Structure formats: C-alpha cells, structure tokens
C-alpha cells in the first residue's frame, strides 16, 4: 500500500507526538503535569495500603490539577515572594537534600547481620535469666520512706500509699512498674528488688539518685526473650539510627563552627 506524501507526513507526526502526550497527566493553562507525579502518588498510596486502580488514578489526577491551579494562582499573586514562604521553601529544600544524603549513606553503609546478632546477644544478656514485677513508692526523705514502711506493716495498702509517690509514671497505678529485668533499674533499686521474695516489702528505705524508695516485689519469673527473627527489623532500625547519628556527629566535628 502506498501513502500520499501529505498522509505519510501526518501519520509520522502523530506517532512522534504520542510519547509526549503519554508523559503528561494533564495540561493546566499551558503548564503540563508530568505523569511521573501521578506514578509517585500511586506508589505512595500503595505504601499506605491503597491498591492501584482507575478510580485512584482519577482521584489523584483531580488532586494534581487542583494543586497546579492553586500554585499558578499563588504565583500570579506573588505569594512565593513572601518571606515566610521563602523561609519555608528553604527549610523544605534542606530537608529533602538531607534526607537524600542520609538515604544514600545508609545504602552504602548497611547494617550487617553480624552487627544485628551482636546487638541481639547484648540485649539478651541485659535481660538476664529472670524478670521481676515490682511496685515502688518514691519520696524525698529517708524519714518519709521509713514512715511508709511502718504504715505498711500496720496494714495500710501499698496501692493507696503509692498515690503520694514522687514518681508520676507509676503513682496513678499503685506504684506498679510492670515486668522488667533488673538491668532496667538503677543498681541500688535493682539490688534491693532481687533480694526480695514474692510479696515482700523492703525493710529499710532504698536510696538512689532519685530519692528514697519503698519497694514491693509482686512476683518473679524466667525472662521471656523474643527470638532474633521476631525483633530483627527493630534492631536493624535502631542500629541504622545510631549509624546515621554517628555520621552526623562526625561531620559536625570536622566542620569549622564559629
């Protein structure tokens, strides 16, 4: 089949124009909205549990068009020249650049399985063989603590006296500290706690840097340590954050700050 020169020229022009059209979601007052923005929004929606669909794409398209209309109007009104807007744009620019730098650093310096295993072993060691369910009442003076112990021996309820505790985190719960390993507490507190029998209360006030404690041991049990695979993602994330913090501190230490 033969084409007339004019017909062939029109066909070639149409083919050449097709990719350009496909690269844009829409054109607003002559300004094109790249399809890349649509794909980025679809990817973000997928990360939040929304599957790709024609309905989702239509909704995103309307949103992108609305944003472009507003940006054009803001530009027309000179909003971008406002100092507050300029400062916010500069902050956003810095955030994006820093995020990209740190993502690249993490990609080049990933946390190894050996590092994760070492951190897990350290975690297991800190948990020990047993964990304890304790309550405490924290006061400022030794006399206050001694008086509380006397009241408890006289039949007062620990939970009631704990309402006056200087520890706001546990006072409202009857002094309850829940289950924890001794390593979670300062040494004087931990030493006194592990020396108690289930249901026993300290005979004397226990002093720490926070004040004076009256401790009651509700119970003890074998430590429950999750398997490595269960907490591997959390360990990896924690180690990654440490690496990023160390990298930042290293850069700051080399910088000339006046």
Tell me the pLDDT of the chain (258 aa) as tens digits. 444 444 433 333 443 444 444 589 999 999 999 999 999 999 999 999 999 999 999 999 999 999 999 999 999 999 989 999 999 999 999 999 999 999 999 999 999 999 999 999 998 888 888 999 999 999 999 999 999 999 999 999 999 999 999 999 999 999 999 999 898 999 999 999 999 999 999 999 999 999 999 999 999 999 888 999 999 999 999 999 999 999 999 999 999 998
Retrieve residue 198's tokens.
């289930």
Count CB neighbours of 216 within 10 A.
24
Residue 17: what pLDDT?
42
* Whole-number Å distance between alpha carbons of 194 and 181: 10
248: burial class by Cβ within 10 Å (0-12, 13-18, 19+)? middle
* Whole-number Å distance between alpha carbons of 2 and 42: 44
Retrieve residue 230's tokens.
């269960």
Residue 10: what pLDDT?
38
CA dihedral sign of residues 34, 35, 36, 41: positive
* Whole-number Å distance between alpha carbons of 135 and 103: 44
Residue 126: what pLDDT?
81
* Whole-number Å distance between alpha carbons of 195 and 28: 75
Instruction: Give the strands of the sheet with 211-222, arranged side by side.
Output: 176-180, 130-139, 211-222, 206-208
Q: What does R_g of the chain's alpha carbons equal in angstroms?
A: 32
* Whole-number Å distance between alpha carbons of 235 and 199: 35
CA atoms within 13 A on the CB side of 153: 10
Strand-pairing partners, residue 214, are: 137
């Amino acid at each position: 089949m033969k084409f007339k020169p004019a017909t062939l020229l029109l066909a070639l022009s149409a083919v050449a124009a097709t990719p350009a059209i496909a690269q844009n979601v829409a054109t607003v007052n002559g300004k094109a909205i790249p399809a890349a923005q649509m794909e980025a929004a679809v990817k973000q929606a997928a990360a939040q549990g929304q599957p790709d669909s024609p309905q989702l794409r239509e909704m995103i398209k309307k949103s992108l068009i609305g944003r472009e209309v507003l940006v054009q109007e803001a530009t027309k009104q000179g909003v971008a020249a406002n100092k507050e807007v300029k400062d916010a744009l500069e902050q956003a620019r810095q955030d994006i650049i820093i995020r990209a730098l740190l993502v690249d650093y993490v990609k080049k310096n990933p946390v190894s399985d050996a590092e994760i295993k070492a951190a897990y072993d350290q975690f297991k060691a800190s948990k020990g063989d047993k964990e304890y369910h304790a309550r405490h009442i924290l006061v400022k003076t030794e006399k206050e603590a001694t008086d509380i112990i006397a009241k408890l021996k006289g039949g007062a309820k620990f939970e009631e006296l704990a309402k006056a505790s200087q520890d706001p985190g546990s006072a409202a719960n009857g002094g309850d500290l829940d289950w924890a390993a001794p390593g979670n507490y300062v040494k004087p507190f931990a030493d006194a706690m592990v020396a108690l029998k289930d249901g026993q209360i300290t005979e004397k006030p226990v002093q720490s840097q926070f004040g004076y404690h009256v401790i009651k041991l509700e119970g003890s049990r074998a430590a429950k340590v999750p398997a490595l695979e269960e907490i591997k993602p959390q360990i990896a994330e924690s180690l990654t954050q440490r690496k990023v913090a160390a990298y930042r501190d290293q850069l700051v230490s080399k910088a000339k700050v006046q």
